Homo-oligomer: A and B are copies of this chain.
C-alpha cells in the first residue's frame, strides 16, 4: 500500500463527464490498495470567469478580494469530485485550503506555502476515505484566503505530497509528459521517460507548459517523486501501465532511465536584447545598469559583459519582451547620461535556445558541439551563457526553428523509429 497524491488540471476537471472519469480513475487506484489524496484545479474557464467579473467592477481590484473570489473555483471542483467519488462507492471528503489547513504567507495572488498540518487528512485516510484538497489556495496567519498564483495547484499537490511524505505525486494533465523539445517545432521530439528535477528546472520554458516551475523547486527541495502524465488515457487502462506512463521527474540521478548527455532543447521567444555600448569599464557598472532596471521591476535574464578595449566595454542583457520599450527608455534617459556611455541599442527579434542535461556535468565538448551545429547552419550566436547543466545562446529569432531542429538531431534526441 502506497500513499499517492493525484493532481488534475482544469481541462481534466472541465465538465461533470470528465470529473466522473477522474473519479473512476482514482477509484481504480484505491481498489488496488493505495491511499489517495486528490488535488484538483478549478473547472477550466472558471477562474477567468470569476476574475472577469471582478474586472468589470474595478480596473484595479483588491488582491485580497480577488483571492476570496478565485479560491471558490477549486472549492466547487473539489466538492464535485468528492460527490463523484461517493457515486463510485468510495468514502470521500473535500477540504478547502483553510480546512486542512495549508498555511501561507500573506502575499495575496502569489502566496507561498509555509506549512501544512496533515493530521486531519491522515485521520481521514486511516478511516478509509479519499481526501480531496483544493489546489491553488491556502490561508494566511490572519485567517484570510490566499491563492498561490496561476498554476498553483501543482504546487499545492507537491506541497501536500511533501508534508505527507507521499510515495509519489502524479500530475495528470492534458499532455502526456515532458518532451525533448516542443513537438510543434520538431516533429521528431520524443517524450522523456524520466528527467532530473534540476533539468526540469532548466527546461522551464518547455516545462512551464506542463508544470508550474515552483512545484518543481518544491519537489526538489522536499525530494518528492513527481510524475507528469495524461488524464486523457481511458480511465480503465491497466494501473501498472498508467503508473509507468508519462515522465518521471526524479531527484535521484541513479533513478534516471536515460543517460543521454543532453536531455532536451528548451527555447523562448519571450525575451529582447539590450546593449549599452561604450561603457567606461569601472567597478560597479553592472550594478548601475542592472540595478536600475531591476528597480523598475523588470526581470533581467542573460547578462554578458565582454572584456574591455581602451577602457570601454559593451554590456548586454535580455529582458522580457513586454518590458523592452520601457527598459530602453529608462536606460536612454537615466543610465546612459549618468554612466557617460555612448549609446543603447535594442533588438526585440531574438530567441534564446538552450541545451539542458545533467550529463553535461561529466562530458566535455558539449558546448562546442552546440556552437558547431549552429555554425554549420549559418546561424550567428549573439550571446552565450552557461550553467552547470545548461548552455543557452541568443540568436536571431528567424533562425529559431532551424536551430532547435538541428540541435535536436545533433544531440541524438530524434525519436528512434521502430
Contact = CB atoms under 8 A, between A and B. Distances in A.
A56 B83 CA distance: 10
A237 interface: no
A78 B86 contact: no
A53 interface: yes
Interface stretch (A33-41, A66-74, A154-162, A310-318): A66-74
Contact of A61 (B56, B57, B83): B83
A93 B145 CA distance: 12
A65 interface: yes
A16 interface: yes
A347 B35 CA distance: 55
A144 B78 CA distance: 14
B53 A65 contact: no
A158 B408 CA distance: 68
A65 B50 contact: no
A263 interface: no
Contacts of A208: none
A341 to B, nearest CB: 43
B93 A80 contact: no
A87 interface: yes
Nearest to A86: B62
A58 B86 contact: yes
A346 to B, nearest CB: 36
Interface in A328-353: none
A56 B54 CA distance: 28
A143 interface: yes
B72 A54 contact: no
A144 B95 CA distance: 8
A235 to B, nearest CB: 15
B58 A69 contact: no
Given A58-B84, A65-B86, A68-B96, 10 more contacts: A54-B80, A54-B83, A62-B86, A65-B80, A65-B82, A65-B94, A66-B79, A68-B75, A72-B76, A99-B144
Contacts of A57: 16, 19-20, 23, 80, 83-84, 87
Nearest to A20: B57
A71 B86 CA distance: 20
Nearest to A78: B68
A82 B62 contact: yes
A98 interface: yes
Contact of A69 (B53, B80, B87, B143): B80
A76 B50 contact: yes
Interface string A25-68: 00000000000000000000000001001101110011011101
Given A72-B72, A86-B65, A79 B93 contact: no
B69 A76 contact: yes
A255 to B, nearest CB: 38
5 closest cross-chain pairs (CB), A and B: A72-B72, A69-B79, A68-B79, A16-B56, A58-B87
Interface string A77-121: 011101110110000011010110000000000000000000000
Nearest to A120: B143
Contacts of A94: 65, 68
Contacts of A87: 57-58, 61
